[in-house]
């Protein structure tokens, strides 16, 4: 839900020096850095800049799984490998969204996501176009990839607001946003038209001031001692984030 009106104390602490009107706190307005073709390594895999060479592996992972494309606003599912490869090559050439492939420990590309809606002057960026194949879904790498990208956005690129938006009917994406530590800020009604259908958009965000606690929860969840010998989680990330102030 939208944030509440600031308290009287918060207002009086930020007054315009000439007019006396309440204003926002002063911030460092040096622009953030745009995404770059980095490789970000984790314990379960890594992420790297998407390129056309990832297409065959990605196609093997997503082929036949039409459900993963339902809420994508303008593309998928694809009829064949050629059509998918053309899409992947075109996606790899874009600078916004700036796409990364998610690579498992065996070196297979099994997912893709992007940094997008990039506004360096405001230090705002979004994670989106998240395509997780069934081979990636509900794995430690699925969570680790989100951790690696968020850490990169906040700590290397210096963004102060990290957004997550999705179709309001996409229950899985909405659960994921909360699990990863994003805060729901509202529903934008009739926000867009996707594939000939009306879409309300659920709007989430995480701030740089919140990132240290979210980072600690990610790392606590990803730690080796949080998994049994069978690979099952012991502590739940959703619960960790729900108890973080």
Convert the pLDDT of each residue in 184-236 to its tens digit.
999 999 999 999 999 999 999 999 999 999 999 999 999 999 999 988 999 99
Helix, strand, or coil (residue 106): coil
Q: What is the DSSP string of 154-209?
A: IIIS--SEEEEEEETT-HHHHHHHHHTT-EEEEEEEEEEEETTEEEEEEEEEEETT
Residue 46 neighbours by CB under 8 Å, 6+ apart: 39, 40, 103, 148
* Cβ atoms within 10 Å, residue 56: 15
Convert the pLDDT of each residue in 77-110 to its tens digit.
999 999 999 999 999 999 999 999 999 999 999 9
* Number of residues that this document lists for the chain: 245
Are the C-beta atoms of 50 and 36 separated by less than 8 Å? no
Mean of all residue pLDDT scores within the chain? 94
Q: Which of 213, 152, 219 is nearest to 182 (CA)?
A: 213
Convert the pLDDT of each residue in 138-196 to its tens digit.
999 999 999 999 999 999 999 999 999 999 999 999 999 999 999 999 999 999 999 99
Are the C-beta atoms of 226 and 233 separated by less than 8 Å? yes
Instruction: Beginning with the edge strand found earlier in the chain, give each strand of the sheet holding 183-194 in spatial order.
Output: 39-41, 45-49, 98-104, 109-119, 124-132, 161-167, 197-207, 183-194
Are the C-beta atoms of 101 and 54 separated by less than 8 Å? yes
Convert the pLDDT of each residue in 18-50 to its tens digit.
999 999 998 989 999 999 999 999 999 999 999
Write the DSSP symbol of residue 142.
H
Q: What does the pLDDT read at residue 244?
A: 62
Distance CA 36, CA 157 (A): 9
């Amino acid at each position: 839900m939208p944030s509440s009106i600031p308290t009287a104390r918060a207002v009086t602490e930020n007054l315009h020096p000439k007019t006396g009107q309440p204003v926002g706190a002063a911030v460092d307005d040096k622009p953030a850095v745009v995404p770059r073709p980095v490789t970000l390594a984790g314990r379960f895999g890594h992420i790297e800049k998407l390129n056309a060479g990832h297409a065959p592996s990605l196609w093997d992972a997503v082929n036949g799984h039409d459900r993963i494309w339902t809420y994508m606003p303008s593309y998928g599912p694809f009829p064949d490998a050629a059509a998918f490869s053309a899409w992947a090559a075109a996606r790899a050439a874009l600078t916004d969204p700036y796409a990364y492939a998610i690579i498992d420990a065996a070196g297979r590309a099994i997912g893709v996501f992007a940094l997008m809606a990039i506004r360096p002057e405001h230090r705002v960026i979004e994670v989106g176009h998240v395509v997780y194949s069934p081979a990636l879904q509900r794995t430690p790498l699925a969570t680790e990839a989100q951790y690696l990208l968020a850490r990169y956005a906040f700590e290397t690129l210096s963004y102060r607001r990290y957004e997550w938006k999705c179709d309001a009917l996409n229950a899985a994406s909405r659960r994921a946003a909360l699990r990863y530590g994003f805060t729901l800020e509202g529903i934008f009604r009739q926000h867009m038209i996707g594939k000939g259908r009306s879409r309300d958009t659920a709007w989430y965000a995480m701030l740089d001031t919140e990132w240290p606690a979210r980072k600690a929860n990610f790392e606590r969840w990803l730690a080796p001692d949080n998994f049994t010998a069978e690979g099952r989680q012991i502590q739940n990330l959703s619960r960790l984030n729900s108890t973080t102030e």
